[in-house]
A and B are shown apart, each in its own frame.
Chain A
Amino acid sequence: MKTRAAITAIIAVLIFAAGYAALFIAPDEATMHEIQRVFYFHIALWTGMYTAIGLAFVGNVAWLITRQARWDWLGVSSVEVAVMCCTGGLITGVLWGKPAWGIWWTWDARLTTCFILWMLYISYLVLRGLIDEPQRRATLSAIFGIFAFLDAPLVYAANRLWRTQHPAPVLFGGPDSGLAPMILWVMLFCMAAIVCATLLVLTDRYRLERMRHELEELRFAVDLRAHQPANFATKESQ
Protein backbone atom coordinates (compact mmCIF):
# COMPACT_ATOMS: atom_id res chain seq x y z
CA MET A 1 0.00 0.00 0.00
CA LYS A 2 2.67 2.42 1.08
CA THR A 3 4.82 1.65 -1.94
CA ARG A 4 1.91 2.37 -4.24
CA ALA A 5 1.19 5.66 -2.53
CA ALA A 6 4.85 6.57 -2.75
CA ILE A 7 5.10 5.70 -6.41
CA THR A 8 1.92 7.59 -7.20
CA ALA A 9 3.25 10.59 -5.35
CA ILE A 10 6.56 10.45 -7.20
CA ILE A 11 4.83 10.21 -10.55
CA ALA A 12 2.53 13.07 -9.64
CA VAL A 13 5.58 15.15 -8.81
CA LEU A 14 7.15 14.12 -12.10
CA ILE A 15 4.09 15.25 -14.01
CA PHE A 16 4.07 18.59 -12.25
CA ALA A 17 7.77 18.97 -12.89
CA ALA A 18 7.24 18.14 -16.52
CA GLY A 19 4.47 20.69 -16.73
CA TYR A 20 6.64 23.30 -15.11
CA ALA A 21 9.51 22.46 -17.43
CA ALA A 22 7.31 22.64 -20.47
CA LEU A 23 5.82 25.94 -19.46
CA PHE A 24 8.75 27.78 -17.95
CA ILE A 25 12.06 26.08 -18.51
CA ALA A 26 11.86 25.21 -22.17
CA PRO A 27 13.06 28.05 -24.35
CA ASP A 28 10.65 30.11 -26.33
CA GLU A 29 10.22 28.73 -29.79
CA ALA A 30 10.88 31.12 -32.62
CA THR A 31 7.78 30.91 -34.75
CA MET A 32 5.02 29.62 -32.51
CA HIS A 33 5.93 30.92 -29.07
CA GLU A 34 3.75 29.81 -26.22
CA ILE A 35 1.46 27.45 -28.06
CA GLN A 36 4.38 25.32 -29.09
CA ARG A 37 4.63 24.14 -25.50
CA VAL A 38 1.59 21.95 -26.03
CA PHE A 39 3.84 19.99 -28.29
CA TYR A 40 5.66 18.46 -25.31
CA PHE A 41 2.53 16.81 -24.04
CA HIS A 42 1.28 16.02 -27.48
CA ILE A 43 4.34 13.94 -28.30
CA ALA A 44 4.42 12.49 -24.80
CA LEU A 45 0.84 11.32 -25.04
CA TRP A 46 1.56 9.59 -28.28
CA THR A 47 4.50 7.85 -26.76
CA GLY A 48 2.23 6.70 -23.97
CA MET A 49 -0.32 5.53 -26.51
CA TYR A 50 2.11 3.51 -28.57
CA THR A 51 3.53 1.93 -25.44
CA ALA A 52 0.03 0.94 -24.38
CA ILE A 53 -0.80 -0.41 -27.82
CA GLY A 54 2.35 -2.49 -27.83
CA LEU A 55 1.42 -3.93 -24.46
CA ALA A 56 -2.09 -4.62 -25.72
CA PHE A 57 -0.69 -6.60 -28.61
CA VAL A 58 1.50 -8.61 -26.26
CA GLY A 59 -1.53 -9.30 -24.08
CA ASN A 60 -3.65 -10.38 -27.04
CA VAL A 61 -1.10 -12.79 -28.42
CA ALA A 62 -0.21 -14.16 -25.00
CA TRP A 63 -3.86 -14.83 -24.20
CA LEU A 64 -4.38 -16.83 -27.36
CA ILE A 65 -1.33 -18.91 -26.66
CA THR A 66 -1.50 -19.44 -22.90
CA ARG A 67 -5.16 -18.79 -21.99
CA GLN A 68 -4.08 -17.25 -18.71
CA ALA A 69 -6.56 -14.64 -17.61
CA ARG A 70 -3.93 -12.06 -16.71
CA TRP A 71 -3.06 -11.52 -20.38
CA ASP A 72 -6.65 -10.63 -21.07
CA TRP A 73 -6.50 -8.17 -18.17
CA LEU A 74 -3.39 -6.68 -19.71
CA GLY A 75 -5.13 -6.44 -23.06
CA VAL A 76 -8.17 -4.55 -21.86
CA SER A 77 -6.23 -2.29 -19.48
CA SER A 78 -3.74 -1.35 -22.17
CA VAL A 79 -6.42 -0.60 -24.71
CA GLU A 80 -8.37 1.60 -22.31
CA VAL A 81 -5.23 3.52 -21.44
CA ALA A 82 -4.29 3.76 -25.11
CA VAL A 83 -7.67 5.26 -25.92
CA MET A 84 -7.18 7.76 -23.12
CA CYS A 85 -3.75 8.79 -24.37
CA CYS A 86 -5.00 8.92 -27.91
CA THR A 87 -7.88 11.20 -26.95
CA GLY A 88 -5.38 13.45 -25.23
CA GLY A 89 -3.09 13.35 -28.21
CA LEU A 90 -5.87 14.29 -30.58
CA ILE A 91 -7.09 17.13 -28.40
CA THR A 92 -3.61 18.56 -27.92
CA GLY A 93 -3.03 18.19 -31.63
CA VAL A 94 -6.07 20.30 -32.33
CA LEU A 95 -5.09 22.82 -29.67
CA TRP A 96 -1.73 23.16 -31.28
CA GLY A 97 -2.89 23.20 -34.85
CA LYS A 98 -5.37 26.02 -34.78
CA PRO A 99 -3.23 28.78 -33.34
CA ALA A 100 -0.09 27.55 -35.07
CA TRP A 101 -1.32 27.11 -38.63
CA GLY A 102 -4.90 28.30 -38.57
CA ILE A 103 -6.33 24.87 -39.19
CA TRP A 104 -8.03 22.55 -36.73
CA TRP A 105 -6.90 19.36 -38.33
CA THR A 106 -4.61 17.95 -40.97
CA TRP A 107 -4.51 14.50 -42.42
CA ASP A 108 -0.83 13.89 -42.09
CA ALA A 109 0.56 10.43 -41.39
CA ARG A 110 0.85 10.68 -37.65
CA LEU A 111 -2.45 12.33 -36.93
CA THR A 112 -4.30 10.04 -39.30
CA THR A 113 -2.77 6.94 -37.76
CA CYS A 114 -3.66 8.21 -34.32
CA PHE A 115 -7.22 8.88 -35.34
CA ILE A 116 -7.76 5.51 -36.96
CA LEU A 117 -6.19 3.71 -34.01
CA TRP A 118 -8.45 5.68 -31.72
CA MET A 119 -11.48 4.43 -33.62
CA LEU A 120 -10.18 0.90 -33.82
CA TYR A 121 -9.50 0.61 -30.13
CA ILE A 122 -12.80 2.16 -29.22
CA SER A 123 -14.34 -0.52 -31.41
CA TYR A 124 -12.33 -3.06 -29.42
CA LEU A 125 -13.93 -1.81 -26.22
CA VAL A 126 -17.38 -1.78 -27.80
CA LEU A 127 -16.86 -5.36 -28.96
CA ARG A 128 -15.91 -6.44 -25.46
CA GLY A 129 -19.01 -4.79 -24.09
CA LEU A 130 -21.21 -6.82 -26.43
CA ILE A 131 -19.90 -10.29 -25.56
CA ASP A 132 -20.88 -11.65 -22.17
CA GLU A 133 -19.06 -14.93 -21.86
CA PRO A 134 -15.55 -14.19 -20.56
CA GLN A 135 -13.54 -16.79 -22.49
CA ARG A 136 -15.12 -15.95 -25.78
CA ARG A 137 -14.89 -12.24 -25.10
CA ALA A 138 -11.19 -12.54 -24.44
CA THR A 139 -10.52 -14.66 -27.51
CA LEU A 140 -12.54 -12.63 -29.99
CA SER A 141 -11.28 -9.28 -28.75
CA ALA A 142 -7.73 -10.64 -28.88
CA ILE A 143 -8.23 -11.54 -32.52
CA PHE A 144 -9.63 -8.10 -33.28
CA GLY A 145 -6.84 -6.46 -31.30
CA ILE A 146 -4.24 -8.26 -33.37
CA PHE A 147 -5.90 -7.12 -36.58
CA ALA A 148 -6.03 -3.57 -35.28
CA PHE A 149 -2.36 -3.63 -34.35
CA LEU A 150 -1.43 -4.92 -37.80
CA ASP A 151 -3.44 -2.15 -39.38
CA ALA A 152 -1.47 0.66 -37.71
CA PRO A 153 1.64 0.49 -39.89
CA LEU A 154 -0.57 0.11 -42.94
CA VAL A 155 -2.43 3.30 -42.11
CA TYR A 156 0.86 5.11 -41.65
CA ALA A 157 2.33 3.73 -44.87
CA ALA A 158 -0.77 4.59 -46.88
CA ASN A 159 -0.68 8.12 -45.61
CA ARG A 160 3.01 8.56 -46.35
CA LEU A 161 2.55 7.18 -49.84
CA TRP A 162 -0.34 9.53 -50.40
CA ARG A 163 1.77 12.43 -49.21
CA THR A 164 4.49 11.66 -51.71
CA GLN A 165 1.90 12.03 -54.44
CA HIS A 166 0.06 15.01 -52.97
CA PRO A 167 2.77 16.99 -51.27
CA ALA A 168 1.59 19.45 -48.69
CA PRO A 169 3.52 21.93 -46.61
CA VAL A 170 5.28 20.07 -43.86
CA LEU A 171 3.63 21.28 -40.72
CA PHE A 172 5.42 19.34 -38.09
CA GLY A 173 8.91 20.58 -37.51
CA GLY A 174 8.97 17.78 -35.04
CA PRO A 175 11.86 16.14 -33.30
CA ASP A 176 13.65 15.27 -36.51
CA SER A 177 14.42 18.79 -37.60
CA GLY A 178 17.30 19.57 -35.32
CA LEU A 179 16.10 20.73 -31.92
CA ALA A 180 17.88 22.91 -29.50
CA PRO A 181 19.25 20.69 -26.71
CA MET A 182 17.01 22.21 -24.04
CA ILE A 183 13.91 21.50 -26.06
CA LEU A 184 15.01 17.95 -26.54
CA TRP A 185 15.64 17.47 -22.83
CA VAL A 186 12.29 18.90 -21.83
CA MET A 187 10.59 16.76 -24.40
CA LEU A 188 12.28 13.60 -23.18
CA PHE A 189 11.46 14.47 -19.63
CA CYS A 190 7.81 15.01 -20.48
CA MET A 191 7.74 11.75 -22.39
CA ALA A 192 9.19 9.90 -19.43
CA ALA A 193 6.73 11.50 -17.05
CA ILE A 194 3.72 10.72 -19.21
CA VAL A 195 4.84 7.17 -19.89
CA CYS A 196 5.24 6.61 -16.16
CA ALA A 197 1.81 8.05 -15.53
CA THR A 198 0.40 5.87 -18.31
CA LEU A 199 1.91 2.75 -16.82
CA LEU A 200 0.61 3.72 -13.40
CA VAL A 201 -2.92 4.10 -14.69
CA LEU A 202 -2.51 0.88 -16.61
CA THR A 203 -1.46 -1.07 -13.55
CA ASP A 204 -4.39 0.37 -11.63
CA ARG A 205 -6.76 -0.68 -14.35
CA TYR A 206 -5.13 -4.11 -14.45
CA ARG A 207 -5.64 -4.50 -10.73
CA LEU A 208 -9.25 -3.50 -11.13
CA GLU A 209 -9.71 -6.19 -13.76
CA ARG A 210 -8.00 -8.73 -11.57
CA MET A 211 -10.27 -7.84 -8.67
CA ARG A 212 -13.30 -8.24 -10.89
CA HIS A 213 -12.04 -11.64 -11.88
CA GLU A 214 -11.44 -12.60 -8.26
CA LEU A 215 -14.94 -11.50 -7.39
CA GLU A 216 -16.22 -13.76 -10.14
CA GLU A 217 -14.16 -16.61 -8.81
CA LEU A 218 -15.51 -16.07 -5.30
CA ARG A 219 -19.07 -16.04 -6.52
CA PHE A 220 -18.28 -19.13 -8.46
CA ALA A 221 -16.71 -20.90 -5.49
CA VAL A 222 -19.76 -20.12 -3.37
CA ASP A 223 -21.92 -21.59 -6.09
CA LEU A 224 -19.65 -24.60 -6.16
CA ARG A 225 -20.07 -25.20 -2.44
CA ALA A 226 -23.80 -24.91 -2.73
CA HIS A 227 -23.80 -27.75 -5.23
CA GLN A 228 -21.59 -30.01 -3.17
CA PRO A 229 -23.49 -33.26 -2.48
CA ALA A 230 -22.70 -34.72 0.95
CA ASN A 231 -21.07 -37.94 -0.18
CA PHE A 232 -18.61 -36.39 -2.62
CA ALA A 233 -15.19 -35.29 -1.45
CA THR A 234 -14.63 -31.61 -1.89
CA LYS A 235 -12.08 -30.73 -4.50
CA GLU A 236 -11.32 -27.03 -4.59
CA SER A 237 -10.91 -25.77 -8.10
CA GLN A 238 -8.14 -23.36 -7.10
Chain B
Amino acid sequence: MTAARATATILGKELRLEFRARELLTITVVFALVIVVLFSFAFDPTAGESRRYGPGLLWIAFLFAGSLMLNPSFAREQSNQTLDALRMAPISPFAILAGKMLANLIFLAIAEIILVPVFAVLYNISLAGVVGRLALVLLLGTVGLVVTGTVFSAVASHARMRELLLPLLLLPLLAPLLTAAVEATAALFAEQPALDRAWLAFLAGFDIVFLTAAWLLSDYLLEE
Protein backbone atom coordinates (compact mmCIF):
# COMPACT_ATOMS: atom_id res chain seq x y z
CA MET B 1 0.00 0.00 0.00
CA THR B 2 1.74 3.15 -1.10
CA ALA B 3 1.64 6.13 1.21
CA ALA B 4 -0.10 8.19 -1.45
CA ARG B 5 -2.89 5.71 -1.85
CA ALA B 6 -3.33 5.37 1.90
CA THR B 7 -3.47 9.15 2.24
CA ALA B 8 -6.01 9.39 -0.54
CA THR B 9 -8.19 6.71 1.07
CA ILE B 10 -8.18 8.49 4.39
CA LEU B 11 -8.82 11.81 2.68
CA GLY B 12 -11.81 10.26 0.97
CA LYS B 13 -13.18 9.01 4.25
CA GLU B 14 -12.75 12.40 5.94
CA LEU B 15 -14.47 14.19 3.08
CA ARG B 16 -17.31 11.72 2.99
CA LEU B 17 -17.86 12.03 6.74
CA GLU B 18 -17.85 15.79 6.64
CA PHE B 19 -20.01 16.26 3.59
CA ARG B 20 -22.61 14.03 5.07
CA ALA B 21 -22.83 16.00 8.29
CA ARG B 22 -21.62 19.42 7.11
CA GLU B 23 -21.39 20.49 10.72
CA LEU B 24 -17.77 21.55 10.75
CA LEU B 25 -17.99 23.57 7.59
CA THR B 26 -21.10 25.39 8.65
CA ILE B 27 -19.73 26.29 12.04
CA THR B 28 -16.39 27.39 10.64
CA VAL B 29 -17.92 29.67 8.05
CA VAL B 30 -20.43 31.14 10.45
CA PHE B 31 -17.86 31.72 13.16
CA ALA B 32 -15.42 33.43 10.80
CA LEU B 33 -18.27 35.53 9.49
CA VAL B 34 -19.23 36.55 13.00
CA ILE B 35 -15.68 37.73 13.68
CA VAL B 36 -15.57 39.69 10.45
CA VAL B 37 -18.92 41.36 11.15
CA LEU B 38 -18.12 41.99 14.80
CA PHE B 39 -15.07 43.96 13.80
CA SER B 40 -17.24 46.43 11.97
CA PHE B 41 -19.12 47.01 15.22
CA ALA B 42 -15.89 47.62 17.07
CA PHE B 43 -14.36 49.88 14.43
CA ASP B 44 -15.94 52.01 11.79
CA PRO B 45 -13.65 51.43 8.84
CA THR B 46 -13.40 53.92 6.04
CA ALA B 47 -12.10 52.78 2.71
CA GLY B 48 -8.53 53.68 3.60
CA GLU B 49 -8.69 51.93 6.93
CA SER B 50 -10.27 48.88 5.39
CA ARG B 51 -7.31 48.56 3.15
CA ARG B 52 -4.99 48.79 6.12
CA TYR B 53 -6.79 46.62 8.64
CA GLY B 54 -8.68 44.35 6.31
CA PRO B 55 -5.99 41.76 5.71
CA GLY B 56 -5.28 41.49 9.43
CA LEU B 57 -8.94 41.02 10.20
CA LEU B 58 -9.36 38.42 7.50
CA TRP B 59 -6.47 36.31 8.68
CA ILE B 60 -7.38 36.57 12.33
CA ALA B 61 -10.84 35.35 11.45
CA PHE B 62 -9.32 32.41 9.56
CA LEU B 63 -6.92 31.54 12.35
CA PHE B 64 -9.57 31.57 15.03
CA ALA B 65 -12.17 29.74 13.02
CA GLY B 66 -9.54 27.34 11.79
CA SER B 67 -8.22 26.50 15.21
CA LEU B 68 -11.72 25.59 16.30
CA MET B 69 -12.33 23.54 13.20
CA LEU B 70 -9.14 21.55 13.51
CA ASN B 71 -9.93 20.14 16.91
CA PRO B 72 -12.36 17.42 15.84
CA SER B 73 -9.79 16.11 13.39
CA PHE B 74 -8.48 13.63 15.92
CA ALA B 75 -11.05 14.06 18.64
CA ARG B 76 -13.63 12.52 16.33
CA GLU B 77 -11.66 9.31 16.10
CA GLN B 78 -12.01 8.70 19.79
CA SER B 79 -15.69 7.89 20.08
CA ASN B 80 -15.35 4.37 18.71
CA GLN B 81 -11.58 4.22 18.91
CA THR B 82 -11.42 4.26 15.14
CA LEU B 83 -7.90 5.64 15.39
CA ASP B 84 -6.88 2.18 16.60
CA ALA B 85 -8.33 0.71 13.43
CA LEU B 86 -6.28 3.14 11.36
CA ARG B 87 -3.14 2.37 13.32
CA MET B 88 -3.61 -1.36 12.89
CA ALA B 89 -3.88 -1.05 9.14
CA PRO B 90 -0.69 -1.51 7.08
CA ILE B 91 -0.25 2.21 6.47
CA SER B 92 2.27 4.64 7.85
CA PRO B 93 1.26 7.03 10.63
CA PHE B 94 2.19 9.90 8.37
CA ALA B 95 -0.39 8.74 5.83
CA ILE B 96 -3.05 9.09 8.52
CA LEU B 97 -1.77 12.54 9.38
CA ALA B 98 -1.45 13.64 5.77
CA GLY B 99 -4.93 12.44 4.89
CA LYS B 100 -6.36 14.52 7.69
CA MET B 101 -4.22 17.51 6.79
CA LEU B 102 -5.46 17.45 3.23
CA ALA B 103 -9.04 17.12 4.36
CA ASN B 104 -8.67 20.07 6.71
CA LEU B 105 -7.05 22.05 3.93
CA ILE B 106 -10.02 21.42 1.68
CA PHE B 107 -12.53 22.36 4.38
CA LEU B 108 -10.73 25.59 5.18
CA ALA B 109 -10.35 26.37 1.50
CA ILE B 110 -14.08 26.04 1.04
CA ALA B 111 -14.67 28.31 4.01
CA GLU B 112 -12.28 30.85 2.55
CA ILE B 113 -13.90 30.77 -0.85
CA ILE B 114 -17.17 31.69 0.84
CA LEU B 115 -15.71 34.23 3.22
CA VAL B 116 -13.39 36.27 1.06
CA PRO B 117 -16.07 37.64 -1.28
CA VAL B 118 -18.30 38.41 1.69
CA PHE B 119 -15.45 40.20 3.35
CA ALA B 120 -14.66 42.13 0.19
CA VAL B 121 -18.24 43.31 -0.03
CA LEU B 122 -18.56 44.28 3.63
CA TYR B 123 -15.36 46.25 3.64
CA ASN B 124 -15.52 47.64 0.11
CA ILE B 125 -12.30 46.10 -1.05
CA SER B 126 -11.94 45.36 -4.70
CA LEU B 127 -10.63 41.94 -5.59
CA ALA B 128 -10.48 42.62 -9.28
CA GLY B 129 -7.27 41.41 -10.85
CA VAL B 130 -5.81 39.87 -7.71
CA VAL B 131 -7.93 36.77 -7.31
CA GLY B 132 -5.31 34.37 -8.60
CA ARG B 133 -2.51 35.81 -6.54
CA LEU B 134 -4.74 36.07 -3.50
CA ALA B 135 -5.57 32.41 -3.90
CA LEU B 136 -1.87 31.61 -3.79
CA VAL B 137 -1.36 33.57 -0.59
CA LEU B 138 -4.43 31.99 0.97
CA LEU B 139 -3.19 28.56 -0.01
CA LEU B 140 0.28 28.95 1.46
CA GLY B 141 -1.05 30.46 4.65
CA THR B 142 -3.74 27.84 5.07
CA VAL B 143 -1.27 25.00 4.53
CA GLY B 144 0.79 26.28 7.45
CA LEU B 145 -2.30 26.54 9.62
CA VAL B 146 -3.51 23.09 8.68
CA VAL B 147 -0.17 21.30 9.07
CA THR B 148 0.51 22.60 12.55
CA GLY B 149 -3.15 22.48 13.56
CA THR B 150 -3.62 18.84 12.61
CA VAL B 151 -0.51 17.83 14.54
CA PHE B 152 -1.69 19.74 17.58
CA SER B 153 -5.14 18.23 17.25
CA ALA B 154 -3.47 14.86 17.71
CA VAL B 155 -1.50 16.18 20.67
CA ALA B 156 -4.50 17.81 22.33
CA SER B 157 -6.76 14.80 21.82
CA HIS B 158 -4.91 13.04 24.64
CA ALA B 159 -5.20 15.94 27.05
CA ARG B 160 -8.00 17.35 29.11
CA MET B 161 -9.74 20.51 27.99
CA ARG B 162 -8.69 19.92 24.44
CA GLU B 163 -11.01 22.51 22.88
CA LEU B 164 -9.30 25.28 24.81
CA LEU B 165 -5.87 23.72 24.61
CA LEU B 166 -5.63 23.59 20.86
CA PRO B 167 -5.92 27.35 20.27
CA LEU B 168 -3.52 27.94 23.15
CA LEU B 169 -0.90 25.72 21.54
CA LEU B 170 -1.53 26.79 18.00
CA LEU B 171 -2.04 30.53 17.91
CA PRO B 172 1.29 31.67 19.39
CA LEU B 173 3.10 29.31 17.06
CA LEU B 174 1.34 30.82 14.07
CA ALA B 175 2.34 34.41 14.86
CA PRO B 176 4.99 34.54 12.12
CA LEU B 177 2.60 32.96 9.65
CA LEU B 178 0.03 35.59 10.51
CA THR B 179 2.53 38.39 9.91
CA ALA B 180 3.59 36.93 6.58
CA ALA B 181 0.08 36.21 5.35
CA VAL B 182 -1.23 39.61 6.35
CA GLU B 183 1.66 41.44 4.72
CA ALA B 184 1.33 39.45 1.54
CA THR B 185 -2.42 40.04 1.45
CA ALA B 186 -1.99 43.74 2.19
CA ALA B 187 0.38 44.03 -0.73
CA LEU B 188 -2.40 42.68 -2.93
CA PHE B 189 -5.01 45.06 -1.54
CA ALA B 190 -2.80 48.10 -2.02
CA GLU B 191 -3.29 50.79 -4.63
CA GLN B 192 -0.82 49.03 -6.86
CA PRO B 193 -1.39 45.36 -6.15
CA ALA B 194 1.82 43.39 -6.13
CA LEU B 195 2.87 39.92 -5.17
CA ASP B 196 5.40 40.19 -2.39
CA ARG B 197 7.86 37.44 -3.14
CA ALA B 198 9.74 37.75 0.12
CA TRP B 199 6.67 37.01 2.19
CA LEU B 200 5.57 34.25 -0.13
CA ALA B 201 8.95 32.64 0.24
CA PHE B 202 8.65 32.99 3.98
CA LEU B 203 5.25 31.29 3.98
CA ALA B 204 6.58 28.50 1.83
CA GLY B 205 9.53 28.12 4.20
CA PHE B 206 7.22 28.00 7.20
CA ASP B 207 5.13 25.31 5.56
CA ILE B 208 8.14 23.23 4.63
CA VAL B 209 9.72 23.42 8.09
CA PHE B 210 6.63 22.23 9.89
CA LEU B 211 5.59 19.68 7.31
CA THR B 212 9.02 18.14 7.62
CA ALA B 213 8.83 18.20 11.40
CA ALA B 214 5.38 16.57 11.24
CA TRP B 215 6.69 13.89 8.93
CA LEU B 216 9.67 13.11 11.15
CA LEU B 217 7.60 13.02 14.32
CA SER B 218 4.48 11.27 13.01
CA ASP B 219 5.40 7.88 14.46
CA TYR B 220 5.80 9.34 17.92
CA LEU B 221 2.66 11.40 17.58
CA LEU B 222 0.39 8.40 17.14
CA GLU B 223 2.10 5.80 19.24
CA GLU B 224 0.83 4.34 22.47
Contacts and interface: CB of A to CB of B under 8 A. Distances in A.
In the complex, A touching B, CB below 8 Å? yes
Interface of A: 64, 112, 116, 119-120, 123, 126-127, 130-131, 136, 139-140, 142-144, 146-148, 150-151, 154-155, 157-159, 161-162, 165
Contacts of B199: 161
Interface in B175-224: 175-176, 179-180, 183, 198-199, 202, 205-206, 209-210, 213, 217, 220-221, 223-224
Given A64-B220, A127-B165, A161-B202, A151 B159 contact: no
A130 B173 contact: no
B209 A131 contact: no
Contact of A131 (B152, B159, B172, B198): B159
- Chief secondary structure at chain B's binding surface: helix
Q: Kindly state the interface size class of chain B when it binds its partner.
A: 20 to 34
Contacts of B176: 151, 154-155, 157-159
A123 B175 contact: no
Contacts of B220: 64, 139, 142-143
B125 interface: no
A147 B175 contact: no
B213 A130 contact: no
Contacts, number: 78
A87 to B, nearest CB: 15
B28 interface: no
A130 B155 contact: no
Contact of B213 (A146, A155, A159, A165): A146
Interface in B66-109: none
A139 B223 contact: yes
Contacts of B210: 147, 150
A175 B223 CA distance: 46
A127 B169 contact: yes
A158 B179 contact: yes
Contact of B155 (A116, A143, A165): A143
